[in-house]
A and B are shown apart, each in its own frame.
Chain A
Amino acid sequence: MTLNHYLLASGLLFAIGFAGVLLRRNIITIFMCLELMLNAANLSLVAFSRFNVTPGGLPNYNAQVLVFFIITVAAAEVAVGLAIIVALFRARQTTHVEDISTLKF
């Protein structure tokens, strides 16, 4: 297996998540597709980490620390985002993005 295989897999996962964000209209599904895109970035970072072996013969751990940060920020983002969705659902009784168009020009 080469680095390009992993990068292609990561790119395909990103494309699927991106398509989901564009074509789905349920705000929770859109949020799940955002998670897919973040995970695609994680996969390519870990692949680069394994590819860039340090002189000591270990993977480059800077990339894995970055993945750690991404996972942490994603968890915080999910918590805040879902709280916003719940508040929105309480006010409007919908999770459909086309029903929430007050800010739309």
Chain B
Amino acid sequence: MSPVLFWFFTFLMLAFATLVVVNRNPVASALSLVVTFLSLAALFVGLNAYFIAVIQVLVYAGAVMVLFLFIIMLMDLKAERRRKFNLLAVGGGVLVSVGFVGELVLVLGRFKLGESPFPALRAEKIDDVREVGMTLFTTHNLPFQVIGVLILVATIGVVILSRRELK
């Protein structure tokens, strides 16, 4: 990935992620989150993970965000905007995050292996979907089926949770 594109999409991703946290209106937060997911998908394309990028756009920027917006529109959230921030929580949150980033910078400064550039891909073409599918259905077949059961459980759970009468 060319450095210009990397910095552009990283900056876009981090700026809109900050907007997700800072915005008081949940609809604005959700729309900023869509931009974050789209720039993340662009970063995935730059890392030659085309299938994951497509899934990211379809599932996250598509399905999950529509679900979020649907729920936000369903509730009347106007009252939330009048509240003021809890100063202790803001201070604590910023402090812990800054501490985490500082620690990360320290660790990455000593991680010499990560300072070498990405090795070139020697394959003639990148059959991304085929390779992911092969790995998914051979090496990771059992986890794949477990995930299927998990989604079934989640579906049943959602149906039970959204019934009118919770007994």
Is there an interface contact between A19 and B29, defined as CB atoms closer than 8 Å?
Answer: no
With A5-B6, A58-B123, A95-B77 known to touch, is A22 a contact of B59 (CB < 8 Å)?
A: no
Extra inter-chain contacts (7) besides given A16-B17, A75-B64, CB under 8 Å: A2-B117, A9-B13, A18-B93, A23-B94, A29-B20, A29-B29, A73-B147
Q: Of residues 1 to 36 in A, which have CB atoms within 8 Å of B's CB atoms? A: 1-9, 11-26, 28-29, 31-33, 35-36
If A53-B121, A69-B147, A86-B71 touch, whether A17 touches B52 (CB-CB below 8 Å) is no
The answer to whether A3 and B114 have CB atoms under 8 Å apart is yes
- Check if A19 sits within 8 Å of B20, measured CB to CB: no
Contact yes or no, B67 A82, CB < 8 A: yes
Total residues of chain B contacting the partner, CB 8 A: 85
Contact A7 B48 (CB under 8 A): no
| Contact status of A78 and B114, CB under 8 A, knowing A59-B121, A61-B132 | no
Decide if A16 touches B158 in the complex (CB within 8 Å): no
Partner of A80, one of B17, B55, B93, B161: B161
Number of A residues near B (Cβ < 8 Å) is: 73
- Of B75, B90, B132, the residue contacting A65 (CB under 8 A) is B132
| Bound complex: CA A49 to CA B98 (Å) | 27
- Number of A-B contacts defined by CB within 8 Å: 241
Q: For chain A residues 21-63, which have a beta carbon within 8 Å of chain B?
A: 21-26, 28-29, 31-33, 35-36, 39, 42-43, 46-47, 49-51, 53, 56-59, 61-62
Contacts of B77 in A (CB 8 A): 26, 28, 95
Q: Are A4 and B71 in contact (CB under 8 A)?
A: no
> A16 and B97 in contact (CB under 8 A), knowing A8-B105, A32-B29, A50-B47?
yes
Please list 6 pairs of residues, one from A and one from B, whose beta carbons are closer than 8 Å in the complex, sorted by A's number.
A18-B93, A28-B68, A28-B72, A61-B134, A65-B135, A68-B52
Task: Please report the C-alpha to C-alpha distance between residue A16 and residue B33 in the assembled complex, in whole angstroms.
Answer: 12
For the complex of A and B, the 5 pairs showing the least CB-CB separation, nearest first, are A57-B122, A22-B93, A23-B93, A20-B21, A76-B154
In the complex, what's the smallest C-beta–C-beta distance from B96 to chain A, in angstroms?
6
